[in-house]
Amino acid sequence: MTETPVATDDVLRKRALEALTTARARTTLLTECVDDDELTAQHSPLMSPLVWDLAHIGNQEEQWLLRAVAGRDAIRPEIDSVYDAFEHPRAERPTLPLLSPAESRTYASDIRGRVLDVLEAHPLHGSALVDSAFAFGMIAQHEQQHDETMLITHQLRRGPAALDAPEPPGGGTTGLPAEVLVPAGPFTMGTSAEPWALDNERPAHHRQVDAFLIDTTPVTNGAFQAFVADGGYTDERWWAPEGWDQIRRHDIGAPLFWRREGGQWLRRRFGVTEPVPEDEPVLHVSWYEADAYARWAGRRLPTEAEWEKAARHDPASGRSRRYPWGDEDPTPRRANLGQRHLRPAPAGAYPEGASPLGIRQLIGDVWEWTSSDFLPYPGFAAFPYREYSEVFFGPGHKVLRGGSFAVDPVACRGTFRNWDLPVRRQIFSGFRTARDA
């Protein structure tokens, strides 16, 4: 298991400042590319108005970094309940007394200025909340997670494109095996050393995993089109009962944002309608759709432990890496992260990001559904609050791993765990399949 060197306070401050600054630049991009009417509109009952996310980001920053870390008095205590994600479901948030776009920007900016003063002067040791600048890293991750949520809202909104980005690098699966054997044996899952890891990633522990084979790349649009063409959405054999009920009730016959026109599949992507690219990983599929495809293909979804072993375990050394390629941070040549591109890269891209066994695109591009329920690791302890992870544990949520093009590197690592309801399709979710050896 990799031990992370202890950093000095100056190094930690620099890292925290960079993470906070990067997150705020992205928040600004996502909220200033549309007008105030778009900010206050609810583009889907599944999502908050963009202006809610903007003020919520500032409120969480105030609560944790100014109140909890610095011990300062509340600046806007009257809005705490308005921006409490557990008190108000997304569908009802437009009816709340929200701050206006101008007020939200001013509030978030004011909080950030005070937070930077705290970061410059506050000791980064003495309690679990500030050791290794944890609270600052937690807030940077929180903001980036809401940036991803806001990007989902941009995908759901109607109207012309408001965002732009360069195309990702090319890929190609020529010469790549369709699947890779991951040998049986133990490996170290989770982490006790990653300083900004969140509670559900902890602690590191040993897992025994039987030998299995896993797809070299995520399942592509072209492969998924074969499932659709073969009547996959009309054959009950492939579906979990709840999934079959879901697609029947909502008349689902393809991934979200796809439509059939003129003999070809088209999709809507951030305001642009385009042919579905067959070589890209499939996107916007629910767990039920991923599970049905895997059954149709005579395979299955990997378990969470299998996914992490494929992504982190180095058979040569026997240790678990931070990332598939090693312990170094992500770079643009290793993974599609950070909204650098507004789409997944073609299957087979990023050879420099491959795992020791040659598995591609385990980090970035698309979140990958696993077969596992979201459950705590042995020895789990909620920190710093139960509502981040613990209240979601159980069979109701399925685990996704690996991040997507919409995830920033600060909120993505080999141990990072995402979870969602198995019906969710608006998220940037795809999958790869596995089978027993």
Band of residue 7 on the pLDDT scale cut at 50, 70, 90: confident
Say how far apart CA 157 and CA 43 lie, in whole Å: 5
Tens of pLDDT along 223-268? 999 999 999 999 999 999 999 999 999 999 999 999 999 999 999 9
Distance of CA 46 to the CA centre of its chain: 17
pLDDT the model gives residue 5: 53
- For residue 311, give the DSSP letter: H
Give the closest residue to 288 by CA, choosing from 151, 178, 429.
429
Cα torsion 306, 148, 275, 349 to 10°: value is -50
Q: What is the average per-residue pLDDT within 8-24?
A: 96
pLDDT the model gives residue 94: 95
Prediction pTM value: 0.96
Question: What secondary structure, in 3-state letters, does 178-226 show?
Answer: CEEEECCEEEEECCCCCCCCCHHHCCCEEEEECCEEEECCCCEHHHHHH
Tens of pLDDT along 64-78? 999 999 999 999 999
Please name the residue that has the structure tokens 């679990």.
128
Q: What is the average per-residue pLDDT within 363-369?
A: 98
Q: What is the average per-residue pLDDT within 266-294?
A: 98
Give the closest residue to 405 by CA, choosing from 26, 51, 45, 15.
26
Tens of pLDDT along 380-432? 999 999 999 999 999 999 999 999 999 999 999 999 999 999 999 999 999 99
Cβ atoms 382, 313 nearer than 8 A: no
Tens of pLDDT along 123-167? 999 999 999 999 999 999 999 999 999 999 999 999 899 999 999
The total number of residues written for the chain in this structure: 437
- For residue 87, give the DSSP letter: T
What percent of the chain clears pLDDT 70, i.e. is strictly above it?
A: 99
Tens of pLDDT along 324-334? 999 999 999 99
Model confidence at 6: pLDDT above 80: no
CB atoms within 10 A of CB 64: 20
Outline where DSSP puts E strands in 279-377: 367-374
pLDDT the model gives residue 240: 98
Bridge partners of 214, per DSSP, are: 180, 434
Question: pLDDT averaged over the chain?
Answer: 96
Rg (CA), the chain: 21
